[in-house]
Chains A and B, each alone.
Chain A
Amino acid sequence: MAHGLDIRRSSASVWGSLSGMRSTPTVSKYIDTTTCIGCKACEVACQEWNDLKPVATQQVGTYQTLPTLDPGYWNLIRFNERDFDGGIVWLMRKDQCMHCDEPGCLAACPAPGAIVQYDNGIVDVNPDQCIGCKYCETGCPFDVPRFSQTTGKMAKCTLCVDRVSVGLEPACVKSCPTGCLHFGTKDDMVALGHTRVAQLKQNGFAQAVLYDPQGVGGTSVVTVLGHGDHPEWYGLPADPRVPLLVKVWKNVLRPLGVVAIFGAVIGAFGHFMNHGRKGVKGSDDHDVNLPDA
């Protein structure tokens, strides 16, 4: 949790803490998968800065550190292998929280204030409020939040909000030796992405795109994909959205249920006022309600 940042959205709450007295530009991380060399410096920097305990690596037949994200490993370079004209190509992708503009984890979270979206777009877990119910796992379209058995709480990339809030770039960006990671305002990063995509298109990557999925309102991690027609090659969903059933559950069933439960109580009361006790009114058996009759 970072202090000093206004909160745009807060889980299980009606509103955040936006005062409207200042405006904060939405920030974004920029990832260029075409210039990533898989050096894993960002993985180390993430562990270092966030003071995460070392996680035992697992050999899964590639150079990838772990098969998937871990509560103690928030930043993972995925070494996706692809056959092109007889040669293997690595489609490196930096897997971490995408910091959606419309976060599914926040929508699913039942604990007030356990997941917040700061005014600058960063989505963060507040361990003080997290109850470890894992609902966010189901809400997230990118399969990012992880439950820690050690702490009983969820953990994920914070976009180094503690660094960002004091004017520093995230640790991963700081460490990247090839310049495939950048950090700045969302507008600047999108502009940078479009420039790079145009360059790629001129150099044989006709399908290159800037991955900024609009189904979740855009993300505060924009990714240049050389093969933009196949985001699934990188392990990215083609059109990520907050799951429809999660929206139905939170936005339809919940209010309907509250109305139904209060309605039942009011209905029972109304029935009592209209019809009274069975066997008392309109019956010649007046004392039927007396247990000792």
Chain B
Amino acid sequence: MSAVKPAPPLDPAVEVARVKEDVAVGNEIVRHKLSSRVIHWVVAATFFLCLFTGMPIWTPVFGWMAHFFGGLSVCRVVHPWIGLAFFASSAVMMVDWHAQMTLDRSQKGWWGPRLLRYLKWELEDENVGKYNEGQKFYFWTVGLGALGVIASGLIMWFPAWFPAIVRQLAFVLHDVTFILFAVAVVFHIYLSTSAEPGTFGSMTRGTVTRKWARLHHPRWYREVTGEDPRRR
């Protein structure tokens, strides 16, 4: 009988991150519990499958993408079905997360000079909670975008059911929504990876460092740890 080696004990932070969030564990803070991370990645995966099967149909400039899926006709067949999955997972995400994403009235004007200062990394705001206004706005953009692409996409999928003008408007709406979506996603990925180091781990391991929390989300840091984010 061979002895089975017992599995090494899990990192306590990872263990906590399976079920809880907004908890400090040692030098880390759990930012996204496992279910939040799973729904994020399901939305992301279905989004990119939709994007890469849709772009070659959109314009021959991206026609080469079709080859990764087996050709343009395969893209045309799978795109709407993945679209349904994207909409369903987005809907789950919206229901799950919306309570944390209420736009803060005291943050009015975030879209003017404050955004510019934020992008110059000059904005120091003690009052930024778990999500800043940009993140919340992105969340609602995704929700509206998902509605826009599913509504117009269904019309494009079943054109026989709709009058000509509705179909034509659907093409325009599908394009406008997806272009804004794609641009927003580029900045979402940029800001959460190379521009703001330490962020990506919150969607993989589920945790961020205390220093990260102090810098990006001071009020959240205070709420989670009870410590003053200005004191190190």
From known contacts A138-B167, A293-B211, infer whether A271 and B119 are also in contact, taking CB-CB under 8 Å.
Answer: yes
- Cβ of A18 within 8 Å of any chain B Cβ, yes or no, is no
Instruction: Mark contacts of A249-285 with chain B using CB atoms, 8 A cut-off: 1 yes-contact digit, 0 otherwise.
Output: 1000110111011011101100110011111111101
Within 8 A of A (CB), among B86-128: 119-121
Q: How far is the CB of A157 from chain B (nearest CB, A)?
A: 19
- Cβ of B135 within 8 Å of any chain A Cβ, yes or no, is no
Within 8 A of A (CB), among B179-200: 179, 182-183, 186-187, 190, 194-198
Binds A, one of B32-40, B52-60, B139-147, B218-226: B52-60
Chain A, Cβ-Cβ closest to B197: A289
Which B residues lie within 8 Å of A132 (CB)?
Answer: 73, 76
From known contacts A264-B183, A271-B190, A272-B190, infer whether A138 and B171 are also in contact, taking CB-CB under 8 Å.
Answer: yes
Instruction: Mark contacts of B158-182 with chain A using CB atoms, 8 A cut-off: 1 yes-contact digit, 0 otherwise.
Output: 0110001101110110011011001
Within 8 A of B (CB), among A229-256: 243, 245-246, 248-249, 253-254, 256
From known contacts A264-B183, A279-B197, infer whether A138 and B215 are also in contact, taking CB-CB under 8 Å.
Answer: no
Which A residues lie within 8 Å of B120 (CB)?
Answer: 275
Q: Measured between alpha carbons, how far is A256 from B215 in the docked complex, in Å?
A: 37
Q: How far is the CB of B132 from chain A (nearest CB, A)?
A: 12
A245 and B187: CB pair below 8 A?
no
A260 and B209: CB pair below 8 A?
no
**Chain B interface, DSSP helix/strand/loop, else mixed:** helix
Which A residues lie within 8 Å of B57 (CB)?
Answer: 110-111, 131, 133
- Cβ of B63 within 8 Å of any chain A Cβ, yes or no, is yes
A131 and B72: CB pair below 8 A?
yes
Chain A, Cβ-Cβ closest to B121: A278
Most chain-B CB neighbours within 10 Å: which of A131, A256, A271?
A131
- Cβ of B212 within 8 Å of any chain A Cβ, yes or no, is yes
Interface size on A, residues (CB 8 A): 50
Give A contacts to B, CB under 8 Å. 12-13, 110-112, 131-135, 137-138, 143, 147, 243, 245-246, 248-249, 253-254, 256-258, 260-261, 263-265, 267-268, 271-272, 275-283, 285, 287-293
Known: A243-B164, A283-B215, A288-B197. 11 other contacts (CB 8 A): A12-B63, A131-B57, A133-B57, A138-B167, A243-B168, A260-B183, A268-B187, A268-B195, A285-B232, A288-B198, A290-B198
Give B contacts to A, CB under 8 Å. 27, 57-61, 63, 72-73, 75-76, 119-121, 156, 159-160, 164-165, 167-169, 171-172, 175-176, 178-179, 182-183, 186-187, 190, 194-198, 201, 208-209, 211-212, 214-216, 232
Q: List 9 A-B contacts (CB under 8 A).
A: A112-B63, A138-B164, A249-B172, A256-B179, A257-B58, A263-B183, A278-B121, A278-B196, A291-B209
